[in-house]
Amino acid sequence: MADTTKTKIVVPGAHSMVSLLGQRDELLSIIERAFRSDILVRGNEITITGDDAEAALAVRVFEELIALLDKGDVLTGETVERSLSMLRRSEVAHPAEVLSLNILSTRGRTIRPKTVNQKRYVEAIDNHTIVFAIGPAGTGKTYLAMAKAVQALQAKQVNRIILTRPAVEAGERLGFLPGTLYDKIDPYLRPLYDALHDMVDPESIPRLIAAGTIEVAPLAYMRGRAQPVDTPVLTSDGFRRIGSLRVGDLVVGSDGRPTPVLGVYPQGRKEVFRVSTQDGASTLACGEHLWFVTTRDDRRHGKAGRVVQTRDLARGGLRRAHYRRYELPLVAAVEFEPRDVPLDPYALGLLLGDGCLTTATTPSFTTADPELADALDAALPGIALHRKSEVEYVLRHIDGGRGGLRIANPVTAVLRDLGLAGTRSTTKFVPVDYLLNTAVVRLAVLQGLLDTDGGPVRQRGRTCRVQYSTCSDRLRDDVTFLVRSLGGVVYTRTRRAEGRPPGGTPDRPVHHRHDTHVLDLRLPAGVAPFRLTRKRKAYDATGSGRPMRMVDSVEPAGTAECVCIAVGAADSLYVTSDFLVTHNTLNDAFIILDEAQNTSPEQMKMFLTRLGFGSRIVVTGDVTQVDLPSGTRSGLKVVRDILDGIDDVHFTQLGSADVVRHKLVGEIVDAYARFDAEESAARTSATRAPATRRARRE
């Protein structure tokens, strides 16, 4: 017979016995039914008599309940039963610590974990970037994740909440269902809406969804942040169609450096919009495509910026008062792979500006600045500049006539190799090897062009600080490429030749024979556009200012076949057409993927690679309830083997003991688990029996 013991507990006077034992001793009755020990209450003393183990456990129950009262909690029958359940399992955590961990208080209700595993799950969300919660229905996986998401939003730890789940019951063929898109997806997202309504004022939810602060969408639509397949994306080899990119290819990130493509996801035909900036740049993107933007309010409050969808840009209005609201980031100076070039890049810029490149005669250079002539002379070894007039210089080969032999002028040979021989003011261009080269080479070419045909703008009130003009369409585009690739902006306008009066010279009128392209440039601080002393001093006197790119318009552009990519850059940004910086992942967001057992491995990879800077992901699911088509693996089943051991990724396993619905649900889960185990054992036995019989016969 087990030894009996008698233990007395004195309840502190700060707590009434009614708070501890309940109205009409209802809480005491729950405890008495759970133990075989005798429990006697006299005044503020509780005496427990029974065998050692039972009495000790009963004492712990009362101690934990008193600790909860000390924390200001109100005891309920569920609280007592949860405490009993935890203590009977000999779990290390104290019920008072678990049941007093408040996550969110809303409309008179407090949301908190109710089991030890739930507490560990909540703590894992605080301490890890990606958390997987795997367990049966009713264990609070989604509900607690939603509470943590709302808590993070209220604490301004994130800017938005994104809720998603796969709509596999419809095979994600939502087009066969009646109604609008929201009517079609609503049944599959209803559990997320229900949890959200428990934690956020229902009247504010439509406003938060309209503002993009809360987004609820099926998984298939989450990845639909896409651009048309023909959209140019900047790579280490120049612009390529986004539709031609493959996993592992390198694209240029916002820092100007290459970053790998982690995923390519065809999206089918989608409605697209043209997003244009005030400097004339534009690109196409779908309505769900993401943009990182900064507003005046963001800068005023010290925020880095925010992520918005294409539709959000226009929905909230692109202007406020007289100014544009949304500023896009500018790419840093792009670092293409170095290429060998046959001619000094600054010298090339000078010759493209004021050189005669027809090669019908010896190349020449025209300038009224002896400083430029000296610089060109120094940059061309083996060449001497012979002054023919006050402004004209001939580029003679020093050894061109040695020994009675005529040796080809090396400048002429280089011009032919570069395809520039025979070009005139209307057909000049910058060769590809100079455009797709290091920032040092590109800047030197630009400086040569601006020292000859450009100049600082000193007019008061002008926002651009440099102006350049050319008659060549190709040279206009090439200078635009150079400036944008160095982190600047370009405004272009054209002065038409038709109808213009002739220019005036001392001896004769000179009629305008060609249209002139005028480029207004602004370069970032630290990028010097001039080497010529007089221009450099004038530019430095006024300051360079700050180049900016503001969203000017978002207009429907029909439909197009689209593709979505994920990149490996830390900030998730990449460079698309016209050097616009965009991205395709989710920054500063709390993202919940519910019912993840119904994702394929490819979908799971797509979702996880959407993780952006400052974001958290919680993935929930029950691997025993997979609704995928036969033969399709569950992404939730394989992801643990793939990501196990990676820092900042946590897996939480919940079981029947963590079910917080009717207690019968936990018993149902256990019954199914036993049935599955018995069936598995029977199949194993049936498989082994024929082999055993064959072995006996042999």
Q: Which pLDDT tens digit goes with each residue over 134-167?
A: 988 888 888 899 999 999 988 888 888 888 888 6
Report the range of poorest mean pLDDT among 141-155, 631-645, 679-693. 679-693
Instruction: Give the span between the Cα atoms of 251 and 243, in whole angstroms.
Output: 13
Residue 111: inside a domain = yes
Residue 340: inside a domain = no
155 lies in the same domain as 247: no
- Which residue in 191, 212, 197 sits closest to 142, CA to CA? 191
β-pairing, 160-165 vs 38-42, is unpaired
Average confidence (pLDDT) over 312-337:
88
| 210-269 confidence digits (pLDDT tens) | 666 787 776 765 555 789 999 999 998 999 999 999 989 999 999 999 999 887 888 888
Instruction: Give the span between the Cα atoms of 345 and 365, in whole angstroms.
Output: 16
641: left (phi over 0), alpha (psi -120 to 50) or beta: alpha
What is the DSSP annotation of 273-324? EEEEETTS-EEEEETT-EEEEB-HHHHHTT---EEEEHHHHHHT-SEETTEE
DSSP bridge partners of 261:
567
> What was the pLDDT predicted at 300?
85
CATH of the domain at 235: 2.170.16.10
549 pLDDT more than 90: yes
H-type alpha helices, 389-472: 410-418, 432-435, 439-453
Domain boundary among 58, 81, 100: 100
489 lies in the same domain as 352: yes
Domain boundary among 70, 100, 130: 100
> What was the pLDDT predicted at 289?
87
Residue 41: inside a domain = yes
624 lies in the same domain as 655: yes
517 lies in the same domain as 370: yes
320 lies in the same domain as 355: no
Report the range of poorest mean pLDDT among 186-190, 245-249, 445-449, 526-530. 186-190
Number of domains in the chain: 5
| 70-128 confidence digits (pLDDT tens) | 777 778 877 788 787 777 776 556 776 676 677 777 766 778 888 888 888 998 999 99
396 pLDDT more than 50: yes
276 pLDDT more than 90: yes
> What is the SS3 assignment for 497-559?
CCCCCCECCCCCCECCCCCEEEEEEECCCCCCCCCCHHHHHHHHHHCCCCCCEEEEEEEEEEE
437 lies in the same domain as 526: yes
DSSP bridge partners of 274:
284, 555
> Where residue 168 falls among pLDDT bands split at 50, 70, 90?
low
Q: Quote the pTM value.
A: 0.68
Q: In whole angstroms, how far apart are CA 16 and each of 8, 75, 319, 663, 664?
A: 17, 12, 62, 30, 33
Instruction: Give the span between the Cα atoms of 429 and 619, in whole angstroms.
Output: 53
Average confidence (pLDDT) over 331-343:
94
Residue 662: which residues within 8 A CB-CB, separation 6 or more?
Answer: none
Report the range of poorest mean pLDDT among 401-405, 418-422, 443-447, 681-685. 401-405
> What was the pLDDT predicted at 557?
95
> Where residue 170 falls among pLDDT bands split at 50, 70, 90?
very low
Using the structure block, give the residue that is written with the tokens 């392209």.
517
What is the separation of C-alpha 638 from the centre of its chain, rounded to a whole number of angstroms?
A: 25
CATH of the domain at 91: 3.30.1370.10
Instruction: Give the span between the Cα atoms of 527 and 488, in whole angstroms.
Output: 9
Residue 96: which residues within 8 A CB-CB, separation 6 or more?
Answer: 64, 65, 67, 68, 71, 83
Residue 56: inside a domain = yes
> Where residue 181 falls among pLDDT bands split at 50, 70, 90?
very low
CATH of the domain at 362: 3.10.28.10
Instruction: Give the span between the Cα atoms of 131 and 474, in whole angstroms.
Output: 52
Residue 319: which residues within 8 A CB-CB, separation 6 or more?
Answer: 325
Q: In whole angstroms, how far apart are CA 331 and each of 76, 293, 432?
A: 59, 13, 20
> What was the pLDDT predicted at 515?
87
> Where residue 172 falls among pLDDT bands split at 50, 70, 90?
very low
Average confidence (pLDDT) over 334-351:
95
244 lies in the same domain as 111: no
State which H helix or E strand residue 130 sits in.
strand 130-134
Backbone angles phi, psi at 523, to 5 degrees: -110, 155
Average confidence (pLDDT) over 25-35:
83
Residue 335: inside a domain = no
Instruction: Give the span between the Cα atoms of 446 and 350, in whole angstroms.
Output: 9
281 lies in the same domain as 193: no
253 lies in the same domain as 316: yes
| DSSP annotation of 363 | -
| DSSP annotation of 80 | H
383 lies in the same domain as 271: no
112: left (phi over 0), alpha (psi -120 to 50) or beta: beta
Question: What percent of the chain lies above the pLDDT cut of 90?
Answer: 34
443 lies in the same domain as 497: yes
694 pLDDT more than 70: no
> What was the pLDDT predicted at 523?
93
| 556-608 confidence digits (pLDDT tens) | 999 999 988 888 787 778 999 999 998 766 667 899 998 888 888 888 887 88
Structure tokens that stand for 542 in this block: 């006024």
> What was the pLDDT predicted at 443?
97
DSSP bridge partners of 611:
586
> What was the pLDDT predicted at 185?
52
480 lies in the same domain as 599: no
Q: In whole angstroms, how far apart are CA 550 and each of 95, 281, 553, 577, 607?
A: 55, 10, 9, 15, 30
Report the half-sphere exposure of 633 (CA within 13 A, side-chain side): 9
Provide the residue range defining the domain that includes 83.
1-100
Residue 665: which residues within 8 A CB-CB, separation 6 or more?
Answer: 137, 138, 659
> Where residue 175 falls among pLDDT bands split at 50, 70, 90?
very low
